[in-house]
Amino acid sequence: MILRAKPKEISGQENDFMEKQAFLHLPVEPAEDVNEKQRQLQKLDEAISQLDEQQRTCIELFFIHEKSYQEISISTGYDLNKVKSYIQNGKRNLKILLEK
């Protein structure tokens, strides 16, 4: 879901002001936190690669490429209920793989 988050589009001077305000209030993360996040993202990437092809495809399309169930069904040729099942099972399997 972090990958899905997108900044709002603001134009002109308002945007400059918002950027300056945001910069002044940004929390500084210790290097350990940044390194830990990188390790977690790497583990997630490795876990995704271990999923079955159908689950991996649906998970990537849904969470990374922000496709809807219907769009995934059309682009992959999988039945809509299968897409939902692949995503649900893929999420469960990712959780299991990440807890190892």
pLDDT in tens, 16-73: 545 555 555 555 566 677 788 888 888 999 999 999 999 999 999 999 899 999 999 9
Q: Cβ–Cβ contacts within 10 Å for residue 48, how many?
A: 18
Domain 33-99 has CATH 1.10.10.10: yes
Contacts of 18 (CB under 8 A, 6+ apart): 10
Q: pTM (2 decimals)?
A: 0.65
Q: What is the DSSP string of 18-50?
A: HHHHHHHTPPPPPHHHHHHHHHHHHHHHHHHHT
State the pLDDT at residue 11: 47
* pLDDT at position 88 over 50: yes
